[in-house]
Chain A
């Protein structure tokens, strides 16, 4: 039997960056999340797998403030209660999110997409008079390089290929310099080469002391990441551990991987 959630979950004062405890979300009686408990350590990369409807996206919605949980605790970075904050406040605390469908600003250039994502004062008055500083330019160049988009910097984001859009969005996350990145299906619709490049990119980000949570269906990709895996099912954690242990778990095979 693999490690299930320990019955005596540690108290919120442990050094976890993200701490979810007993989180329940219901939509019209359907329990999208059911007493979900999860912890992410600072600098950790975690892969989340699970069948459709397991609550992966809802979990991200709860963490980023899009959905309010009915019950449960969601704490971030030494006890900030995320359930009381809205999306913008949570983003400014240092949580970045990449959507399932690549969402970039299509009528802006690649460069502007990154520029708008760069960490900084987000208040309207400051943004109205903002000038691009040398420091921002350097950071911009750096991120374009990491995301492999330097050659595309002046193109409109809407003209990028699917894979490039995914990278651009990851680059935007990087520009935000968040403590925690939530990445929803980053390799959906990518070629094998692109998938590999994405895995390398995410590892590089995680190595730079960002915590990363990756939701993904592609088991080859999850294996390539080589990190701790959490399998969700019906809104709670079914199994957690190394990829090999989780993928041998009979319950995981039954509900998700198939025989």
Chain B
């Protein structure tokens, strides 16, 4: 019911949700029900790849919420994604039990290898799924809250904020590379066996993970849409366009920014958590600053401030990445990505969906009611 209320003015949203929900049903079905010989069969690899795209789409959506609507250009969203991923990874590590190489009942292999005698305190509780899943949201959320609280209260904005978010993910990367941090050093966490008692590698489990990723994307979209469609969403856009004006109207800008930044980080964390069991590994390279910058490109390509566009951009750019990094063009992928960003900025500054919206708006000029064009000079831009 609430969903229907949310989507009344959101035709793109309806399409978007229909497609994602369709994928959630069709892809696992074609994977499980069709024999591998059938042309309609979707292979394990393809489904894993599509599942990965969906996680990236959720990550892009979370960035669009802060960047597209509130003007916070976070160049460190990969950090929240990776933290969610690590929380999930820790749960999966604890599920291995005695099946590890060293067969230690409690300690993951890398800890035995490092001669550790007992589990560090921050690994406590991760054997419980509910606790781990809570941490998937709580850790990125809390970090974003504390970071946002200080950064936004000190009125760090624009490029300075972008730089410190970049520093945040870089610092985390360096920290997670260290073996004595207790997160597996540069190897990260891998060799997962079970999730909720089901074998991670099993086709049915993979199909379920895919469907859950699609549902998470749907849910993420609905949450983001509920936020931007509310009056708070209008305040966010006001902050983006004229921050000090918003302040002088009596809105405490830092609270709004912290709120949306935290929600966004939680979304990114969930995306990371769903990504890890599907790719089978999480390591510190997920914190690489370049990863976070790539997310910005996805959003820019799809159209910032459009939500569905961000998800579309994530899928398209990653599809291109998969295509071009496997063939003879592989060495040039980064050049292509860079060129894509430059070209989109110049020719499609509103991204794919933003440009489409403009096009539709121009075809239906009567959408603007009772305007008096004669008395209005050119829009100042």
A99 to chain B, nearest CB (A): 7
17 additional contacts (CB under 8 A) given A124-B232, A164-B376: A87-B248, A97-B248, A107-B237, A108-B234, A112-B234, A115-B234, A116-B238, A123-B255, A124-B256, A127-B231, A130-B230, A151-B372, A152-B371, A155-B371, A159-B379, A161-B376, A176-B249
| Chain A residues within 8 Å of B377, by CB | 161-162
The CA of A164 and the CA of B376, in the complex, are separated in Å by 9
| Chain B residues within 8 Å of A129, by CB | 230
Interface residues of A in 99-142 (CB under 8 A from B): 99, 103-108, 112, 115-117, 122-124, 127-130
A64 at the interface (CB under 8 A from B): yes
The CA of A160 and the CA of B371, in the complex, are separated in Å by 10
Q: Are B232 and A128 in contact (CB under 8 A)?
A: yes
Q: Are B249 and A172 in contact (CB under 8 A)?
A: yes
Q: Are B379 and A91 in contact (CB under 8 A)?
A: no
Q: Are A88 and B376 in contact (CB under 8 A)?
A: no
B250 at the interface (CB under 8 A from A): yes
The CA of A104 and the CA of B237, in the complex, are separated in Å by 12
A123-B255, A158-B381 are known contacts. Are A87 and B231 too (CB-CB below 8 A)? Answer: no
Which 3 pairs of residues, A with B, have the shortest CB-CB distance? Answer: A91-B250, A128-B232, A87-B247
| Chain B residues within 8 Å of A106, by CB | 241-242
Q: Are A88 and B371 in contact (CB under 8 A)?
A: no
Interface residues of B in 224-252 (CB under 8 A from A): 227, 230-232, 234-235, 237-238, 241-242, 244-245, 247-252
Most B-side CB within 10 Å, residue of A92, A115, A117, A124: A124
Interface of A with B (CB < 8 Å)?
A: 64, 66, 86-88, 91-92, 96-97, 99, 103-108, 112, 115-117, 122-124, 127-130, 151-152, 154-155, 158-162, 164, 172, 176
A154-B370, A158-B379, A158-B381 are known contacts. Are A105 and B237 too (CB-CB below 8 A)? Answer: yes
Interface of B with A (CB < 8 Å)?
A: 227, 230-232, 234-235, 237-238, 241-242, 244-245, 247-253, 255-256, 259, 368-372, 375-377, 379-381
B243 to chain A, nearest CB (A): 10
The CA of A116 and the CA of B248, in the complex, are separated in Å by 12
| Chain A residues within 8 Å of B381, by CB | 158
Q: Are B368 and A154 in contact (CB under 8 A)?
A: yes
B61 to chain A, nearest CB (A): 19
Which of chain A's residues has its CB closest to B368's CB?
A155
Q: Are B251 and A108 in contact (CB under 8 A)?
A: no
Q: Are B375 and A161 in contact (CB under 8 A)?
A: yes
Which of chain B's residues has its CB closest to A151's CB?
B370
A116-B234, A155-B368 are known contacts. Are A160 and B376 too (CB-CB below 8 A)? Answer: yes
| Chain A residues within 8 Å of B259, by CB | 124
A107-B241, A154-B369 are known contacts. Are A116 and B235 too (CB-CB below 8 A)? Answer: yes
* 25 sampled A-B residue pairs with Cβ under 8 A: A66-B244, A86-B252, A87-B244, A88-B251, A99-B245, A104-B242, A105-B242, A107-B237, A107-B241, A116-B231, A116-B235, A116-B249, A117-B249, A123-B255, A124-B255, A127-B231, A128-B227, A130-B232, A155-B368, A158-B380, A159-B379, A161-B375, A161-B377, A162-B380, A164-B376
